[in-house]
Amino acid sequence: MAKVSQPDGRPEEPPDTAPAAVTTTRPGVSGSGSRSDSNSGTSTSTSTDHTTATTATPATTATTANGPVGAPAAEPDARHRLTALQGLAALSLDAMASVAYGPESIVLVLAAAGSHGLGFTLPVTLAIAVLLAVLVASYRQVIAAFPNGGGSYAVAKTHLGRRTALFAAASLLLDYVLNVAVSVTAGVAALTSAFPALYDDRVGICLAVLALITALNLRGIVDSAKAFLVPTAVFVGAILAMVAVGLFRAAPAATVTADGHASVLTDNATTVGALLLLKAFAAGCSALTGVEAVANAVPSFRAPAVRRAQRTEVALGVLLGVMLIGLSVLIGRFHLQPVEGVTVLAQLADASFGHHAAFYVVQFATMVLLALAANTSFGGLPVLMGLLARDNYLPHVFGLKADRQVHRHGVLALAAVAAALLIFSGGDMNTLVPLFALGVFVGFTVCQIGMVRHWRRERSPRWRGKALLNGFGALLTGVSAVVVTATKFSEGAWLILVALPLLVLTFEAVHRAYARIGTRLGLGRLPEPPRRARSLVVVPVSHLSRLTGEALNAAVSLGDEVVAVTVTHDTPEDRPATEALRRDWELWNPGVELLELPSATRSLGRPIAAYVTVLAARHPGTRITVLIPEAEPAHLWQRLLQNQRGAVVAHAVRRDTDAVICRLRFRLAAPARMW
């Protein structure tokens, strides 16, 4: 079937994914608008330059840059959208898995104050639980107020201005990418701890795990949710069972795991002061990463999407809060101390279950969930990138969806950057952790401040209480961001402070490029009525065949004048073919002139492009079309058998001229009928 690309070079978008139509109030861009399909970011033609097309029935429906005006949006297939339970599995893995390192982060900081400092584990955890409740309540409101997703970016764009919104988006983008790398390396670290022989192969294992998660997400977020539902349920069930069993034990069931390992408690213990408690609070807040993921991916839920997303957010907060508080209670109940080489979670499993099968279930479930926690980013980041693309801050290709409601280009981009981080870090989690969590605190703070302004503007019932709640949350997350920056600056947090403004500058550069293209294309203004111009069609040929006949049939239907051209090379080995074509053409006598274009080099595309340039100068106001006939093979592997001459000619003409390029496909697997 013939396909026609849009004037900006992008393929047609499905109605339910197309951005909003351009209005006259704000000139914008919904396509690349370049002279060619290469997305060069510039436009030098005064018409619909280089419209690449195959023959198609002319459409008379009025269209915008993104599709037909008034075309009914196709209802998304509910099978490819999430239920609340599936959303919990697809979007909460990051937050759920954080119980494996959140309490441990608190304990490691408080260990500087000795055994006395460890007694503050529960109070610090309760403070984090309060912040968690504030965030969950806030993001429930964000979901209702911004059902198109985007989280802190959407809130900031509406209430705090463009620049703040871009900083929020940049912080979320960095956090999502780092979450993938940290989660995969943490899961593989648990595996290599159990099987030390695999340690030297950790980079390859990390990349294999990343490839598996990427493949599942390319099939759709629902498929990934179904695949991760069982591991999530096993992990949550194991942690809750461990807490329940531990609460009924007066003493640890076993200490085999920690035996023989040195304690990290220092002999020169410091006093428990405000700074130490703030550092412990900031370290423990790493358990809150992922809380915003549901609000970022509301469009991924089935209708009613807002209600399902809110239920998922509440379920995430309740489960995470119960697990964090329960683990902290057990830490104090069993008087656990952090030891080298053994995680706090492993000690708790040993103390609650004993060193038996249940202990290994907890360890294995933790390992699997840590590795799969990267899926949260694959659920949230592509949606965020789609929103940025719709607002012209990222290339529009990130706004396209595949047939399974997948932002495929966003998934692949996330996987590529995460793979680069894994290779750069050598699969070492400790190299990446100092960079983690700062971005999410920036996003939290921006979102909370934005919601305060939201309530002040809306002034709905009880708006003062809601604004006070968000303001309190902004204070807590803002302090946490400052503390994390100060304590981890020398460990690598400075890289985030450099990357954030660079990303914002990149967003703005893309936006300016689209604005220039929009001005050049006259987007937002009604164009002049279409008028018929004289048409001249150029058909490149190299030999006579059924394909040549079909090409000329199409050409005489499209143009007022048709010229066939062939590139000749004055070499002994090429002369017989040239003479044979000349003789056969005269014998066939199709009523179309065959023009020979001599080439001193072996170039095929440049002589044709040069001839088109001469035609354009000789016939101003004439629409010149280059119709390139190509055989469409029956099987994909048969493309290797083709000489790709059509692509070479199309590239040269697109690069050097303003002609319309029409690539006519002759399907070898079907009857040769073309019209």
Q: What is the DSSP string of 546-558?
A: HHHHHHHHHHHHH
DSSP label at residue 289 = T
Q: According to the model, what pLDDT value does residue 144 have?
A: 81
Buried b (16+ CB within 10 A) or exposed e, 24-41: eeebbbbbbbbbbbebbb
User: pLDDT band at 151, cuts 50/70/90?
Assistant: confident
Whether the per-residue pLDDT at 3 is higher than 60: the answer is no
Q: Say if residue 405 is in the same domain as residue 304.
A: yes
* HSE toward the beta carbon, residue 150, CA cutoff 13 A: 23
Longest dimension (CA), the chain: 103
Q: According to the model, what pLDDT value does residue 339 have?
A: 75
Q: According to the model, what pLDDT value does residue 509 have?
A: 93
Higher pLDDT residue, 668 or 328? Answer: 328
Higher pLDDT residue, 573 or 69? Answer: 573
Q: What is the DSSP string of 329-357?
A: HHHHHTT---BTTB-HHHHHHHHHH-SSH
Q: Say if residue 156 is in the same domain as residue 196.
A: yes
Please report whether residue 74 resides in a domain: no
Whether the per-residue pLDDT at 301 is higher than 80: the answer is yes
Q: Say if residue 210 is in the same domain as residue 161.
A: yes
Instruction: Of 128, 122, 100, give the one whose Cα is nearest residue 190.
Output: 100
User: pLDDT band at 604, cuts 50/70/90?
Assistant: confident
Q: Where are the beta strands (DSSP E) in 485-636?
A: 535-540, 561-568, 593-598, 623-632
Q: According to the model, what pLDDT value does residue 430 have?
A: 64
Q: Say if residue 279 is in the same domain as residue 144.
A: yes
Which residue, 514, 547, 582, sits at the end of a domain?
A: 514
Amino acid identity, residue 520? R
Query: 8: domain CATH number?
Result: 3.40.50
Whether the per-residue pLDDT at 643 is higher than 60: the answer is yes
Q: According to the model, what pLDDT value does residue 10 have?
A: 37
β-bridge partners, 627: 662
Q: What is the pLDDT of residues 543-559, one digit of tens each?
A: 888 888 999 999 998 88
> How many whole angstroms separate alpha carbon 509 and alpha carbon 347?
51
Which residue, 480, 514, 548, sits at the end of a domain?
A: 514
Please report whether residue 444 resides in a domain: yes
Q: Say if residue 128 is in the same domain as residue 165.
A: yes
Which residues are CB-neighbours of 150 under 8 A, at least 6 positions away? 157, 295, 296, 383, 384, 387
User: pLDDT band at 665, cuts 50/70/90?
Assistant: confident
Which residues are CB-neighbours of 458 under 8 A, at least 6 positions away? none
Q: Say if residue 147 is in the same domain as residue 198.
A: yes
25: which 2 tokens? 């109030």
Q: Is the peptide bond before 304 cis (omega within 30 degrees of 0)?
A: yes
Q: Say if residue 453 is in the same domain as residue 589.
A: no
Please report whether residue 242 resides in a domain: no
Q: What are phi and psi of 618, to 5 degrees?
A: -80, -30
Whether the per-residue pLDDT at 195 is higher than 80: the answer is no
> How many whole angstroms separate alpha carbon 208 and alpha carbon 201?
11
Please report whether residue 241 resides in a domain: no
> How many whole angstroms separate alpha carbon 223 and alpha carbon 111?
43
Mean pLDDT across the stretch 280-309? 81
User: pLDDT band at 177, cuts 50/70/90?
Assistant: confident
Whether the per-residue pLDDT at 83 is higher than 90: the answer is no
Q: Say if residue 503 is in the same domain as residue 578.
A: no
Instruction: Of 178, 237, 183, 243, give the one whose Cα is nearest residue 209.
Output: 183
Which residue, 462, 481, 514, sits at the end of a domain?
A: 514
Please report whether residue 503 resides in a domain: yes
Which residues are CB-neighbours of 82 under 8 A, at least 6 positions away? 90, 91, 221, 222, 225, 300, 301, 302, 308
User: pLDDT band at 675, cuts 50/70/90?
Assistant: very low
Q: According to the model, what pLDDT value does residue 538 have?
A: 92
Amino acid identity, residue 621? G
Q: According to the model, what pLDDT value does residue 512 have?
A: 93
Higher pLDDT residue, 39 or 198? Answer: 198
Q: According to the model, what pLDDT value does residue 252 have?
A: 65
Provide the mean pLDDT of the chain. Answer: 77
Helix H or strand E segment including 107? helix 102-110
Q: According to the model, what pLDDT value does residue 169 have?
A: 86
> How many whole angstroms separate alpha carbon 569 and alpha carbon 578?
8
Whether the per-residue pLDDT at 61 is higher than 70: the answer is no
Q: According to the model, what pLDDT value does residue 270 have?
A: 62
Please report whether residue 334 resides in a domain: no
Q: Say if residue 548 is in the same domain as residue 620.
A: yes
Please report whether residue 194 resides in a domain: yes
User: pLDDT band at 220, cuts 50/70/90?
Assistant: low
Whether the per-residue pLDDT at 426 is higher than 80: the answer is yes
Mean pLDDT across the stretch 334-356? 78
Q: According to the model, what pLDDT value does residue 402 have?
A: 60
Q: According to the model, what pLDDT value does residue 54 have?
A: 38
Task: Report which listed range, 24-28, 66-70, 79-83, 577-581, is most confident.
Answer: 577-581
Q: According to the model, what pLDDT value does residue 268 have?
A: 56
Q: What is the pLDDT of residues 483-510, one digit of tens each?
A: 778 877 777 778 888 888 999 999 999 9
Which residues are CB-neighbours of 503 under 8 A, at least 6 positions away? 166, 170, 173, 174
Contact between 171 and 500 (Cβ < 8 Å): yes
Mean pLDDT across the stretch 79-107? 78
Which residues are CB-neighbours of 612 under 8 A, at least 6 positions away? 538, 624, 626, 653, 656, 657, 659
> How many whole angstroms separate alpha carbon 395 and alpha carbon 403?
20
Which residues are CB-neighbours of 287 under 8 A, at least 6 positions away? 95, 98, 99, 101, 102, 103, 105, 128, 320, 324
Amino acid identity, residue 433? V
Q: Say if residue 51 is in the same domain as residue 131.
A: no
Q: Is 626 helix (H, G, I), strand (E, B) or coil?
A: strand
Whether the per-residue pLDDT at 8 is higher than 80: the answer is no
Whether the per-residue pLDDT at 347 is higher than 70: the answer is yes
Whether the per-residue pLDDT at 578 is higher than 50: the answer is yes
Whether the per-residue pLDDT at 478 is higher than 90: the answer is no
Q: According to the model, what pLDDT value does residue 612 have?
A: 92
Amino acid identity, residue 113? A
Contact between 139 and 431 (Cβ < 8 Å): no
β-bridge partners, 103: none
Please report whether residue 526 resides in a domain: no
Mean pLDDT across the stretch 174-202? 79
Which residues are CB-neighbours of 98 under 8 A, at least 6 positions away? 286, 287, 288, 289, 290, 320, 373
Q: According to the model, what pLDDT value does residue 403 have?
A: 56
Q: Say if residue 402 is in the same domain as residue 495.
A: yes
19: which 2 tokens? 């951005």
> How many whole angstroms separate alpha carbon 594 and alpha carbon 618?
18
Q: According to the model, what pLDDT value does residue 126 have?
A: 92
Q: Which domain holds residue 568?
A: 1-58+533-675
> How many whole angstroms separate alpha carbon 614 and alpha carbon 70?
42
Contact between 80 and 26 (Cβ < 8 Å): no
Q: Say if residue 579 is in the same domain as residue 510.
A: no
Whether the per-residue pLDDT at 656 is higher than 60: the answer is yes
Q: According to the model, what pLDDT value does residue 366 have?
A: 81
**Residue 459 C-alpha from the chain's centroid:** 35
Percent of the chain's residues with pLDDT above 70: 79
Q: Count structural domains, the chain.
A: 2
